[in-house]
């Protein structure tokens, strides 16, 4: 075949890049599981009727058909399409398996999703998401809204990412506030305020006093709310100081306060959590806490991690399943970091020790040496052939393998192992020798 070219929007990693991604995914999984989240995987396809319920994203969906049926042009409810997120499939999984799942049910889900968007940095057609959700039957206590922020911040803080900033808000608070200022259509106000990033305060004011039907004073109050942000409970005092009164607003203030209190200990050099009263999240099903997250130096990517509380994402008609969840855009965050060389791996293979070959007859003995190392968890492989030792060392160098093992190289006839970075070569026995802990597995290296 002619050399194939990459497909735009379908990122693929080199082995070293994939090692970075694996460590990121391992780190996420470890924290999710420590917090009692069980892994779920759903099939890649859903019937269109499931995917289009929200009605927003039909253009982005990929339809899937057997090749000999590809001439069919009709698309129906049963037509299968690739999932575009992990929330819709999870909601379907919950209803389908509600008879056997134990509620409240905590699950994490790390899978690829597909969207037919125009590709650009941070936007791909195939990309990996890592979601956590808690879903209840009929009820779900509000404390899980704080727990989501705690779990995701703990998981992401442990990763080799730039500093992260999580923004939280509460839908009840803003909807109650907009109602309290006398807005007839709080949803229209929310949609206008949601454009603050894009059109600025004056642009939002125009939307509020135009399509959303607010007076200049009402619009000012809404913009004053959206301007409030901060890390501590004093932000709630600033909301109260705006003098708007509404029962839903009070509920929202209490819920946001509880989230701020429960997450007060999370701040670090690498992570901050702020209440940002301008955050609304576009999708209309959130009903409580909402989350977004940005990565320092990569603000142009937008939110790399978002979610919220939904009181009725899933329902089978008789029973409703309220939930709260956050989705981390693994590829959206990681592909730019790998692409710009911010992150790389210390080597391109798991191998820690290359066992050199003096001659081809020594292969069986070299294999036993490698097996002895592996038996103690040290990744080891034998040279592909008995080339000159210089060539075998270059084989290791090209892959970043730190150690090369030489059988019978010592004056006493014993084995020796060389750290090819320092050149230091010492006597070693494959049944007891250990590499430094930092060299046992490939590590993630951050530039700068």
Q: Which of residues 387-406 bind a second copy (CB under 8 A)?
A: 395, 398-399
Residues 94-113 that bind a second copy (CB under 8 A): 95-98, 100-102, 104-107, 112
Q: Does 272 bind a second copy (CB under 8 A)?
A: no
CB of residue 216 to a second copy, shortest distance in Å = 42
Cα–Cα distance between 117 and 9 in angstroms, integer? 8
Q: Does 123 bind a second copy (CB under 8 A)?
A: no
CB of residue 278 to a second copy, shortest distance in Å = 29
* CA 359 to chain centroid: 48
Residues 317-356 that bind a second copy (CB under 8 A): 317, 348-351
For a second copy, what does the binding mask look like between residues 130 and 149, x meaning CB under 8 A?
Answer: ------x----x-x------
CB of residue 448 to a second copy, shortest distance in Å = 23
CB of residue 379 to a second copy, shortest distance in Å = 5
Identity of the residue, 241 or 371, whose beta carbon is nearer to a second copy in the bound complex? 371
Identity of the residue, 112 or 165, whose beta carbon is nearer to a second copy in the bound complex? 112
Identity of the residue, 38 or 241, whose beta carbon is nearer to a second copy in the bound complex? 38
Q: Is the peptide bond before 357 cis (omega within 30 degrees of 0)?
A: no
Q: Does 22 bind a second copy (CB under 8 A)?
A: yes
Residues 209-238 that bind a second copy (CB under 8 A): none
Residue of 325, 326, 336 whose CA lies nearest to 296:
336
297-314 core/surface letters (b: 16 or more CB in 10 A; e: else): ebeebbbbbbbbbbbebb
Contacts of 280 (CB under 8 A, 6+ apart): 169, 171, 174, 190, 191, 193, 194, 290
Identity of the residue, 36 or 243, whose beta carbon is nearer to a second copy in the bound complex? 36
**In this chain, which stretch among 39-47, 158-166, 286-294, 414-422 interacts with a second copy, using CB under 8 A?**
39-47
Q: Does 241 bind a second copy (CB under 8 A)?
A: no
Instruction: Kindly write down the DSSP assignment for every residue of 202-228, as one continuous string.
Output: HHHHHHHHTTT---HHHHHHHHHHHT-
Residues 350-369 that bind a second copy (CB under 8 A): 350-351, 363-364, 367
CB of residue 106 to a second copy, shortest distance in Å = 7
236-269 core/surface letters (b: 16 or more CB in 10 A; e: else): bebbeebebebebbebbbebbbbbbeebeeeeee
CB 289 within 8 A of CB 256: yes
CB of residue 35 to a second copy, shortest distance in Å = 6
Q: Does 316 bind a second copy (CB under 8 A)?
A: yes
Which contiguous run of DSSP H or E holds residue 9?
Answer: none
Which is it for the CA torsion 19, 21, 23, 29, positive or negative? negative
**In this chain, which stretch among 41-49, 230-238, 247-255, 416-424 interacts with a second copy, using CB under 8 A?**
41-49
Identity of the residue, 258 or 274, whose beta carbon is nearer to a second copy in the bound complex? 258
- DSSP at 264: G
Q: Does 58 bind a second copy (CB under 8 A)?
A: yes
Identity of the residue, 293 or 345, whose beta carbon is nearer to a second copy in the bound complex? 345
Q: Does 64 bind a second copy (CB under 8 A)?
A: yes
Q: Does 116 bind a second copy (CB under 8 A)?
A: yes
CB 40 within 8 A of CB 109: yes
Other residues' Cβ atoms within 10 Å of the Cβ of residue 395: 17
Cα–Cα distance between 110 and 114 in angstroms, integer? 13
From candidates 34, 216, 241, 312, binder to a second copy by CB under 8 A:
34
Identity of the residue, 47 or 435, whose beta carbon is nearer to a second copy in the bound complex? 47
CB of residue 294 to a second copy, shortest distance in Å = 26
CB-side neighbour CA atoms (13 Å) of 115: 17
CB 270 within 8 A of CB 206: no
Number of residues that bind a second copy (CB under 8 A): 95
Instruction: Kindly write down the DSSP assignment for every residue of 289-345, as one continuous string.
Output: EEEEEEETT-GGG--SEEEEEEEEEEE-SS-EEEEEEEEEEHHHHHHHHHHTTSEEE
Identity of the residue, 102 or 447, whose beta carbon is nearer to a second copy in the bound complex? 102
CB of residue 132 to a second copy, shortest distance in Å = 12
For a second copy, what does the binding mask look like between residues 169 and 208, x meaning CB under 8 A?
Answer: ----------------------------------------
Cα–Cα distance between 164 and 153 in angstroms, integer? 9
**CA-CA-CA-CA dihedral for 192, 197, 199, 200, to nearest 10:** 100
């Amino acid at each position: 075949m002619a050399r194939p070219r990459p497909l735009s929007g379908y990122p693929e990693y080199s082995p070293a890049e994939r090692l970075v991604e694996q460590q990121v995914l391992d780190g996420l999984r470890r924290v999710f599981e420590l917090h009692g989240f069980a892994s779920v995987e759903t099939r890649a396809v859903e019937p269109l009727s499931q995917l289009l319920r929200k009605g927003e994203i039909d253009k982005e969906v990929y339809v899937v058909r057997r090749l000999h049926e590809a001439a069919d042009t009709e698309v129906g409810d049963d037509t299968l399409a690739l999932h575009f997120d992990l929330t819709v499939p999870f909601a379907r999984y919950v209803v389908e398996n509600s008879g056997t799942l134990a509620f409240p049910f905590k699950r994490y889900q790390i899978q690829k999703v597909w969207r037919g968007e125009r590709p650009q940095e941070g936007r791909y057609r195939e990309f990996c998401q890592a979601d956590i959700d808690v879903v209840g039957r009929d009820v779900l206590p509000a404390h899980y809204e704080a727990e989501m922020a705690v779990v995701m911040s703990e998981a992401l803080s442990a990763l080799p990412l730039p500093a992260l900033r999580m923004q939280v808000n509460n839908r009840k608070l803003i909807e109650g506030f907009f109602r309290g200022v006398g807005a007839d259509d709080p949803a229209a106000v929310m949609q206008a305020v949601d454009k603050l990033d894009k059109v600025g305060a004056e642009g939002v004011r125009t939307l509020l006093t135009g399509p959303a039907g607010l007076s200049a004073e009402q619009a000012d109050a809404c913009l004053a709310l959206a301007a409030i942000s901060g890390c501590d409970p004093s932000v709630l005092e600033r909301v109260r100081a705006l003098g708007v009164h509404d029962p839903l607003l009070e509920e929202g203030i209490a819920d946001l306060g509880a989230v701020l209190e429960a997450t007060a200990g999370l701040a670090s050099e690498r992570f901050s959590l702020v209440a940002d009263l301008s955050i609304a999240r576009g999708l209309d099903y959130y009903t409580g806490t909402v989350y977004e997250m940005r990565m320092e130096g990569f603000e142009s990517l937008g939110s790399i991690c978002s979610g919220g509380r939904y009181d009725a994402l899933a329902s089978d008609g008789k029973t409703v399943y309220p939930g709260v969840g956050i989705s981390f855009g693994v590829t959206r965050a990681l592909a730019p970091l790998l692409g710009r060389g911010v992150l790389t791996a210390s080597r391109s293979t798991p191998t820690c020790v290359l066992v050199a070959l003096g001659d081809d007859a020594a292969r069986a003995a070299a294999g036993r040496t490698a097996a002895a190392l592996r038996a103690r968890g040290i990744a080891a492989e034998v040279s592909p052939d008995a080339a000159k030792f210089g060539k075998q060392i270059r084989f290791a160098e090209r892959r970043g393998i730190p150690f090369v093992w030489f059988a019978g190289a010592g004056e006493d006839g014993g084995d020796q192992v060389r750290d090819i970075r320092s050149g230091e070569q010492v006597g070693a026995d494959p049944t007891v020798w250990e590499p430094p802990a930092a060299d046992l597995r490939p590590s993630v290296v951050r530039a700068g």
